[in-house]
Structure 1
Amino acid sequence: MLLTRPALTADDATATALLNCLVREVCAPEQQVREDGGHLVVRLPRVGVTLRTGLARPPSGPTYRLAPPFEEHRDSAWIATGWDRLADLVTGELELATGQANPEFLAQVRDSHSTLAALLRAREESPADPSVDAYVESEQSLLSGHRFHPSPKARQGDPAQWLPYAPETRARFLPRWLAVREELLIEEGDRAAFSVLDELGPAAPPGHRLLPAHPWQLSLLADRPVLRRAFAEGLLHDLGPAAPEVAPTSSVRTAYVPAADVFCKFSLDIRITNCVRKNAWYELTGAVALNEIVQPVFASLDGCTFLAEPAYRSVALADRRLHEGLGVILRQGVGGLKGTPLLSAALADPYGDTLSGLPALATPEGALAWWDAYVRHVARPALRVYLQHGIVLEAHLQNVLVAVDDEGMPVQTAFRDLEGTKLTPAWHDRLAALPPRVRDALTYDPGRAWNRVVYCLLVNHLTEIAAAVADLHPGIDAELWPAARPHFASCGDHPQLRALLAGVPFPAKANLRARWARTADRTATYVPVPNPFAGS
């Protein structure tokens, strides 16, 4: 029987995200979680509070499907508890657990809640257009955000500033085009890659080259004295907004240009969820260097690709923030994929209908066949490029596109985002000529590399896809992970892989604790979560 899809509200989504984090990172590791009929009961041991939430269905592996109502046990009774009360309780528990305060935490949770509320209001005014490409619709469908993050929709700035560029509102916008004196334009990589944009953009004055800019980012940089002087002296010219139209994707700052079938990865000097989303100078150079390593490896694999990032452009002005803030990385488009690309995060969204709209999943048997094909196309390449080539993919839900045929069956996978892609020390000699800061940003030690691979591929990605499939057909829940096992076993006889299949706990990134400690995402710690292979 199909599980009833919950209605999305800012209150419930915020409460669910907080409880998901609390269960995974605080209560479950301390054995403070138990099932009670159709409820999950969790105890906050330090503040001495017991909470209860509904369970939409029994859990599978590390994934719970929490559902309202959210309640607190007080005076021998269960009383309704709002998201703001939950945020206060989480704050108190973490202060006592760590001995540290975080004055930013509650503000970030409130910001995430208000952002989602604004997005839901705006979404009602922009209904789906059947003529819009299914791929773009999947990129722009992620309203609730990361299910295991305390502030999944946190976005700095007034909604009036960012709503015109929000993917969740099905936004389209025109880039702002800058004309840059040729001697001040910085390019690395395949310089011919930008020719498609040069041809589509406005005409540049003689001796100048075009640089597309995100309008929001340009407004954030407008008061930089060096930029104002460059405009005044004619080193840069603002040509204004002009075609081609672009569609912001799930990352907010990366925009798809359908007319050119390319992506522009812009900088945005604002915090979105975890990080300030800018193209740091070492990431600009690193993307080009990493692209040259990754592309030959993926050319040798069948059924998958990695969307190339062949070049970037920026300006050489006496202000590093301008070099980073105006830097734009070009990314290969999706036109060459074999089927209709869909964002994996849209397929996993418990509030969405992307997965349920695929004919292949109409029956339990079809859903099992679909899952088998999905794991084959996603897990095998992600594991093989790590185990055989030392390439660490962040194959999480927002970094993977799955191309499907007319029935919705997976036929090809496209991985993306060189910013999150890393290398193991086996590539040391190949990277030796790069500046130390660039080299450091491109590498992980073996332990951190394996944790990242397993977390992104299994905890963030496949367990969420499995949960979404089980939502459609709860009766096949127990069959999913046994069906996935052969695809993992086919990737070679490696000790790490054997341990995974033997049921060692998965490492789950501790987003709540990372936000509380205000640490960089790269240095986030991990907590163990149940491994569904243990029961398969």
Structure 2
Amino acid sequence: MHGLARTSPAEEAEEAEEATLAALLRCCVREVAGPRGLVWPAPPYLLLRVGGALLRARTRGGAALRFEGRPERLEAGAWHPLTTDELVRLAQADLGRGAGPGHNEEFAGQVAASRTAMAAILRARAAAVPPADPWLASEQALVYGHPFHPSPKARGGRGWLRYAPEAHASFPLRLLGVRADAVAQEGDVTALDALGEAPAGHRLLPAHPWQLDLLRPALGSELVDLGPGPVVMPTSSVRTVYAPDAGVCLKFSLDVRITNCVRKNAWYELAGAVELTRRLTPIFADISRKHPGTRWLPEPGYRSARLGTRLLEGLGVIVRTGPWTGGSPGVTPILAGALAAGTPRPEALSRDPLAWWTAYVSAVARPVLELYFTHGVVVEPHLQNVLVGLDPTGLPVEAVFRDLEGAKLVTGRHDLTGLAPQVARAVSYDAERGWARVVYCLLVNHLVEIAATVAGHGGGAVFEEEILPELWKAAREILVQQAGELGWPLPLSDLLAGSPLPAKANLSVRWARAADRSAGYVPIANPLA
């Protein structure tokens, strides 16, 4: 059974073009036309002006901006189909007039490269066999990437397709032996030693073969190449892989740009993962007592080679607890991003969309808010960082939080003395920045997209129009109840009063060629109001 029905190269290219155009248009609504007041509802269309041109798109799904059919451009009094290349030129005209850089010669190429990568993924996926593991299949389901990113499938380097999760890739790790006096490690890394056997006087260090190809000129005599290791499967982040025999995930560095960032484990992030695991273990135990469906995936240790910063970071691997460890019987973890994309479609969702949504919001949102307000802990519950545990009928009963790179401690709520300054900065946010990140990840990136999928599951625009307000009314009731339990903290009160939501400005940060951590936010309407 192949991943998709056989398609022609022309069909794959057209599908990639439509998805790329839709993602870029969403970015233009939020970051180009919206802030200028140049977006107007004209049901069933949304009108906007970009680069001086009037555009329209048939839309559904509320704030998620799900489009139907090809967007169009008004020219000489008639509507004509819009292309990605045209929209890139129009967006560049507006972006070049802003306060930031007046020109970015890389931008058009990045959008085009993402579109080409998407077509290659569709072609490879059609010929591949999907994994039998339902969780792993969900990790590999994000064919179109971030719905509000101008180049959602941008991949740096060459040969990336053989490591692409969306193509159902699998590959053997490369095993290295690190001389014992050159090992850098912290925490519990016993899972690494089970991956193979190192020669006497050495410790075993698994390496991602793609990363090793990039670093090979820098390898020295302190490292021994032990050849291929166990076969692993990439998860949605590309650089984190699942080692099924060991039952763990391994988070590697990759010195290539994936969407916004070069994905590398900085030395302070290696140390920060272990520090956060130590500090968050008792906190998540408390959260799980209050919200029994809450789980998390600790990152108990890392190992690398102490051979200069480039190799320390480039070869650093973080051990992450596997998603099937400690799960409740009969509960299947599924990536939230796959549910937002409509794969799979749980039976319980078809039977009662409102009840399914209520269970979902309760499972995901309540522990996130409890963590922030009670414990001063920020998690990033975006669609790629949350696994939702579904019972045998497909009803959400658990939420599993992962990736401690995005987890932070609110400054002033935790004692960070004794940590290296870079580590302390890496594991902390001030309260305002932390709250903005929580609201963006939980609501804008996550629940807005899930709500659109739930509404669209019933079929038909009338159903969507009727149920979306009911979904957000139910979500509001859940959050109002929790606000009372938490003593009505001001940020949550403001959120429930209708304060605008912060949407991450992915288009602007790509245009500015800035680091992802410097991305700002643009305000969007709050569906809880």
2:57 corresponding residue in structure 1: 53
Alignment of 1:335-346 (within 5 A): 335=324, 336-338=326-328, 339-346=331-338
Unaligned runs of 5+ in 2: 1-10, 459-463
Give the Å deviation of 1:237.
Answer: 1.0
Q: Are 2:293 and 1:303 equivalent residues in the alignment?
A: yes
Give the Å deviation of 1:95.
Answer: 0.2
Counterpart AA for 2:470? E
Instruction: Provide the rounded CA distance (Å) in 2 between the counterparts of 1:197 and 1:329.
Output: 10
1:116 corresponding residue in structure 2: 118
2:191 corresponding residue in structure 1: 196
Q: Verify the 8 A CA contact 2:138 2:343 in the aligned structure 1.
A: no
Give the Å deviation of 1:36.
Answer: 2.4
1:151 corresponding residue in structure 2: 151
Q: Are 2:227 and 1:240 equivalent residues in the alignment?
A: yes
Instruction: Provide the rounded CA distance (Å) in 2 between the counterparts of 1:403 and 1:299.
Output: 18
1:314 corresponding residue in structure 2: 304
Give the Å deviation of 1:25.
Answer: 1.2
Q: Are 2:360 and 1:359 equivalent residues in the alignment?
A: no
1:482 corresponding residue in structure 2: 473
Instruction: Provide the rounded CA distance (Å) in 1 between the counterparts of 2:166 and 2:426.
Output: 31
Q: Verify the 8 A CA contact 2:30 2:524 in the aligned structure 1.
A: yes
Instruction: Provide the rounded CA distance (Å) in 2 between the counterparts of 1:504 and 1:427.
Output: 25
Q: Verify the 8 A CA contact 1:16 1:67 in the aligned structure 2.
A: no
1:35 corresponding residue in structure 2: 41
Q: Verify the 8 A CA contact 2:32 2:91 in the aligned structure 1.
A: no
1:326 corresponding residue in structure 2: 315
Q: Are 2:506 and 1:504 equivalent residues in the alignment?
A: no
Match of 1:467 among 429, 452, 467: 452
Give the Å deviation of 1:375.
Answer: 0.5
SS at match of 2:355: helix
TM-score of the aligned structures, taking structure 2 as reference length? 0.92
Counterpart AA for 2:99? T
1:516 corresponding residue in structure 2: 511
Give the Å deviation of 1:74.
Answer: 1.1
Give the Å deviation of 1:68.
Answer: 2.4
Q: Are 2:15 and 1:12 equivalent residues in the alignment?
A: no
Counterpart AA for 1:438? V
TM-score of the aligned structures, taking structure 1 as reference length? 0.91
Q: Deviations over 1:479-499 (max 9, x none)?
A: 101111122121421111111
2:8 corresponding residue in structure 1: none
Q: Verify the 8 A CA contact 1:188 1:285 in the aligned structure 2.
A: yes
SS at match of 1:426: coil
Alignment of 1:424-503 (within 5 A): 424-429=410-415, 431-473=416-458, 474=464, 475-489=466-480, 490-491=482-483, 492=486, 493-503=488-498
Identity %: 52
Q: Deviations over 1:246-273 (max 9, x none)?
A: 1100000000111111000000000000
2:182 corresponding residue in structure 1: 184
Instruction: Provide the rounded CA distance (Å) in 2 between the counterparts of 1:353 and 1:176.
Output: 32
Aligned pairs, how many?
500
1:3 corresponding residue in structure 2: none
Alpha carbon RMSD of aligned pairs, Å?
1.5
Moved over 3 A (4+): none
Q: Deviations over 1:384-432 (max 9, x none)?
A: 1001111111110000001111101111111001101111112452x11
Instruction: Provide the rounded CA distance (Å) in 2 between the counterparts of 1:390 and 1:515.
Output: 31
SS at match of 2:265: coil
Counterpart AA for 2:139? E
Q: Verify the 8 A CA contact 1:337 1:412 in the aligned structure 2.
A: no
Give the Å deviation of 1:519.
Answer: 2.1
Counterpart AA for 2:210? W
SS at match of 1:308: coil
2:83 corresponding residue in structure 1: 82
SS at match of 2:97: helix
Instruction: Provide the rounded CA distance (Å) in 2 between the counterparts of 1:109 and 1:264.
Output: 30
1:173 corresponding residue in structure 2: 171
SS at match of 2:196: coil
Give the Å deviation of 1:530.
Answer: 0.7
Unaligned runs of 5+ in 1: 1-5
Counterpart AA for 2:33? C
